[in-house]
Amino acid sequence: MPSLKDLKNRIGSVKSTQKITSAMKMVAAAKLRKAQDQALASRPYTSLMDNVVSKLVSNSSSSSVDLLTGKEDNKTQLLVVFSADRGLCGGFNGSITRAVRKEVKLLTDNGIKVKLLMVGKKSAVALNREFGDLYIDRIEGKSGKPNFSDAEILARKIITLFENNEFGNCRVIYNKFISAIAQEVTYRSLIPVEVKEDKIEENVSNSVFEFEPSEEEILNDLLPRNLATQLFSSQIESTASELAARMTAMDNATRNAGEMIDKLTLQYNRTRQAVITSELIEIISGAEAL
């Protein structure tokens, strides 16, 4: 049975932890508002970019643009994985790690070689022992600060690897922000470009467009920008999801610490009462003996 001093020290320790988790929750909540607004504001732009690409594809007489079609003869697939650089965000990093592990196994079982480009420290570290030999690069320190210039650098790196025949197609895996308590692991094809079939049918049936220069020339210029846009959007969604997961996790931790403090305080009071009762019995017994 712990002594009164041990219980008092433990109560003090849990109270200190509660202050830390409460502060982290408030910081995450403050950052989440900005990240959420940024994520929601980016979606119409990303969707419009998809529509433009779909419209160009529907009017193009050729599909010779490599970024649009991928390389069918190259059976290697590149997975770009977005995770967090920091922990203490619930199951955020774990869900991405499990998704990557499952996807790599599925592709390998189907005879497809896999390469990984890890953006964020946590999943890279968690998967390093199993799949470290598949890593093309690890990018750390960027998860909490989405920047379009970083997305452009990453897009150029992916395009260079693609042109060097390092892989035939590429997908991104990230957590999409749904709400403060829900994030969804999302897969998106970057190469070949994910084209909306419904938009193609709509464009073909209802509209006639003439392009100058040709659709292929426009696509050659537009697709690298589209790749950077999709990567930037994925990073924004991942950052908002990370902050939401951290806020929720720290809120739960703060409430759990409060419950633990109540239990420890009750145990402390009962132990203290038992000690007082024992001392009184000893005093009374000694007085009667005299």
pLDDT in tens, 230-277: 999 999 999 999 999 999 999 999 999 999 999 999 998 988 888 888
pLDDT in tens, 121-165: 999 999 999 898 999 989 887 777 788 888 999 999 999 999 888
How confident is the model at residue 222, as a pLDDT?
A: 84
Q: Is residue 68 part of a domain?
A: yes
Phi, psi of 185 (to 5 degrees): -65, 125
Catalytic: 170?
A: no
Q: Is residue 226 part of a domain?
A: yes
Q: What CA–CA distances, in Å, run from 285 to 273, 275, 278, 279?
A: 18, 15, 11, 10
CA distance 104 to 113: 9
Q: What is the pTM of this model?
A: 0.83
Tokens describing residue 274: 């038992």
Report helix, strand or coil for 175. strand
Q: Is residue 279 part of a domain?
A: no
H or E stretch covering 286: helix 215-289
Instruction: Report whether 163 contacts 67 (CB < 8 A).
Output: no
Degrees, nearest 5: CA angle 222-75-69: 25
pLDDT in tens, 29-61: 999 988 988 888 888 888 888 888 877 776 655
Degrees, nearest 5: CA angle 226-231-232: 95
Looking at every residue in the chain, the average pLDDT score rounds to: 85
| pLDDT for residue 203 is more than 60 | no
Q: Is residue 11 part of a domain?
A: no
Q: Is residue 35 part of a domain?
A: no
- The number of domains in the chain is 1
Q: Is residue 25 part of a domain?
A: no
Query: Which one from 11, 56, 68, 89 is the annotated catalytic residue?
Result: 89
Q: Is residue 256 part of a domain?
A: no
Instruction: Report whether 144 contacts 221 (CB < 8 A).
Output: no
Instruction: Report whether 124 contacts 82 (CB < 8 A).
Output: no
Note down the domain range covering 61: 42-248
pLDDT in tens, 184-201: 999 998 888 877 665 445
How confident is the model at residue 282, as a pLDDT?
A: 81
Report helix, strand or coil for 193. coil
Q: Is residue 69 part of a domain?
A: yes
* CB-based contacts of 121, cutoff 8 Å, min separation 6: 83, 84, 85, 86, 138, 140, 141, 143
> What's the CATH number where 205 sits?
3.40.1380.10
Nearest to 151 by CA among 49, 225, 41: 225
